[in-house]
Structure 1
Amino acid sequence: MIKYLWLCVAVVAALPAAVPWETQRSKPMPRLYGDRIPTRVLTPSNKKVQRKIVLYHNFFRTHVSPTASNMLSMKWHNGAAKAAQRWAEACYALTHDNATGLHIDAFGSCGQNIFISTAQVPWFFAIKTWYLEHQIFKYGPHAENDLSQIGHYTQMVWAPTHRVGCGWAKCNGTRGPQGRPYFSYVCNYCPAGNHPDRLSTPYTAGPSCSSCKDHCRVGKLCKNACPWADLWANCRQLYETWPGWLCQTDTDQGIERLQFCRATCRCRDKIV
């Protein structure tokens, strides 16, 4: 019987120039722990597990305060899940994957949350652990937040993020703190959140779905997601000044620019 439970969580704002960081803290022991949980209910290759992970994320995305006017509904992404599973099996504890490993063609480098524990715990417990950072999060354009304290939460509720894929693995502890075996829970998020200039406003405050009245799911989550993410940080600024130049497709250079700014050019009626 396991008498002590050791938990760690980590998050990365997976931007091209981001440097991964980690944090560690104690968490309350869940009611169900150890090897009592069947592996099949933890393995994300199981379709039922995928649906539950998406359900949990969408549940918490509808419980933000203040309410969100532009919160997108999340869906499963097989590519993000494959990358997350590979990283979970690599067993690097709280060390994050690099930008190349987090890259998804349509979205660029995605975000990543990591949770590790010496005991098997349900996915709901891991995801809720990330969500509980809302207790110290302060919303507002002038609010100050510490990424190391609220980064899991803000990535989970980043409004334009609409794809999630997760991985799970048992690790022998070679690279883990204290050299003890542990279980690794990894979720990748596309497009990435935690942009430094918007960390305190991960979504737009307002009545639920008020930014997507014709594309609302169950009254709280938006469905008008853009299937791409901008790969240049200044696509919006370029579009405001030179929209035709940025989004033209009649030259090779124009086609190349469009590939880097597809969200800005092609998703004018979408949430990006």
Structure 2
Amino acid sequence: MAFMLLFGLWIVLGLFSSSYAYHPASLPDIEDEHFIQDCVEQHNNFRSKVNPLASNMRMMTWDSALAKTAKAWAKKCHFGHNIYLETPRKVHPTFTPVGENIWTGSFSLFSVGKALRDWYNEVNDYTFESNSCTKVCGHYTQIVWATSYKVGCAVQFCQRVTNTGITNGAHFVCNYGPAGNYPTKPYKSGRPCSDCMGEKCIQNLCENPERDQLRSMCYLLLLGMHSLFFRIAIIFLRLRHVCILGYFSWSPDWDITKSSPKASSHPFFPYPTKPPQKPPHHSPLHPTKPQQKPPHSSPSYSTPSHSACDSSCIAVLVLRISSLLITFGTVVLLSKRYPQMFIYE
């Protein structure tokens, strides 16, 4: 009787734990309209409520090229920053360098809102007046960097994330253009939109449809060159992949899978103007030291953040351990009741 009860309990626990199985197909792709809207709205929501209020905070819009880069890097399931962030045309057809935030945690815990809140909550360790951090706060400052107005994000299911102990996790990457985290304050304080130079003010953010319009550098060059000779010459420039193929067909050449997604029809699209200065590369595996007096004028990259196992993850772990103990107990009972069962000659 005891054996039957243990066996039944073992089956029930097995079924219950399997209901928490991780399914990578349930994570959104970079073409998912709800995912795009969620990423953009969450960023703008946090940007609009900074304290003190910002006078020059730009509204963020979606960038499909940044999203492709985020997806390509997330697929590597590596807990560290993209090694190509500083290399021209490796992470974006125009922006160089590109900013980046990374969040890694248990699959069941992930949501865009959760990841963004974890990044934004670093504000508790940041002092605006002195532009200093008591701990890591680079994820927060990148989110509220006033001149970063393009964002592209992606999330990847990873059976194992290298450089962490996380398995069956969600690996979430957001890239930003232009890059933030220069050793200056992330924005100017003052009356919302007062430094927007006539741009439309929406929810304390500066909106400029002309700036946000999708235009390649090739287009801008051709706009001021009416000579056929110059138009032909541009094709042979290093920007020819942008001119000939178009912005939407761009994808990072280091993406070994080369699964270039189709362009989204979403109204949030890119384009930059001035590329920032080349940044140094900081180790992504160690917290960046808070700088009271920044020694240089280049952007820095903050340590990727990851979350501990959530309640669902812990429940699965407990259930599986319980199943092992019950299995062991069943074997012990069987060996006592049928002593010859495990004897081999």
- 1:181–1:219 distance in 2 versus 1, CA, 3 Å: closer
2: distance between equivalents of 1:179 and 1:64? 32
DSSP-derived class of the 1:79 partner: helix
Indicate whether 1:106 and 2:94 are aligned: yes
Alignment of 1:154-169 (within 5 A): 154-169=141-156
**Residue number in structure 2 paired with 1:153:** 140
Aligned to 2:31: 45
Unpaired stretches in structure 2, ≥5 consecutive residues: 1-12, 14-19, 214-224, 231-236, 238-271, 276-345
Residues 51-84 of structure 1, C-alpha deviations (whole Å, 9 max, x = no match): 1110000000011000000000000000000000
1:37 shift after superposition: 9.2
When the two chains are superposed, the root-mean-square deviation of aligned CA atoms in Å is: 3.3
Instruction: Note closer, same or farther for the CA distance 1:102–1:216 as it changes in structure 2 (3 Å cut).
Output: farther
- Percent identical across equivalent pairs? 30
Partner of 2:40: 54
Q: Which has the higher contact order (CA 8 A, sep 6+)?
A: 2
Could you tell me how far apart the structure 2 residues matched to 1:118 and 1:227 are? 35
Alignment of 1:162-201 (within 5 A): 162-173=149-160, 175-178=162-165, 180-196=167-183, 198=184, 201=185
What is residue 314 of structure 2 aligned with on the other side? none
Structure 1 SS opposite 2:69: helix
Q: Is the 8 Å Cα contact of residues 156 and 170 (structure 2) preserved in structure 1? A: yes
Question: Following superposition of structure 1 onto structure 2, how do residues 1-272 of structure 1 map, counting pairs within 5 Å?
Answer: 39-40=25-26, 42-99=28-85, 100=87, 103-120=91-108, 121-140=110-129, 142-145=130-133, 149-173=136-160, 175-178=162-165, 180-196=167-183, 198=184, 201-212=185-196, 214-224=198-208, 226=211, 263=274
Q: TM-score, normalised by structure 1?
A: 0.64
Structure label with greater radius of gyration = 2
State the one-letter code of the partner of 1:208: P
The 3-state SS of whatever aligns with 2:56 is coil
Tell me: CA distance 1:227–1:144, structure 2 relative to 1, closer, same or farther (3 Å).
Answer: same
Contact 2:79 2:161 (8 Å CA) reproduced: no
In structure 1, what is the Cα distance between the partners aligned to 2:71 and 2:144? 22
Report Cα offsets for 1:94-133 as digits up to 9, x if no partner. 3434323863232212100000012231111011110111
Confirm or deny: 8 A CA contact 2:123 2:140 kept in the other structure: yes
Offset at residue 219 of structure 1 (A) = 4.1
Q: 1:135 to 1:37 in 2, by over 3 A?
A: farther
Q: Distance in 2 between matches of 1:181 and 1:38?
A: 9
Q: Is 1:80–1:164's contact at 8 Å kept on the other side of the alignment?
A: yes
Distance 1:194 1:53 in 2: 20
Distance 2:48 2:23 in 1: 28
In structure 2, the CA distance between the partners of 1:35 and 1:207, relative to structure 1 (3 Å rule), is farther
Q: 1:218 and 1:227 mapped to 2: Cα distance?
A: 15
Structure 1: runs of 5 or more not aligned? 2-33, 229-248, 265-272
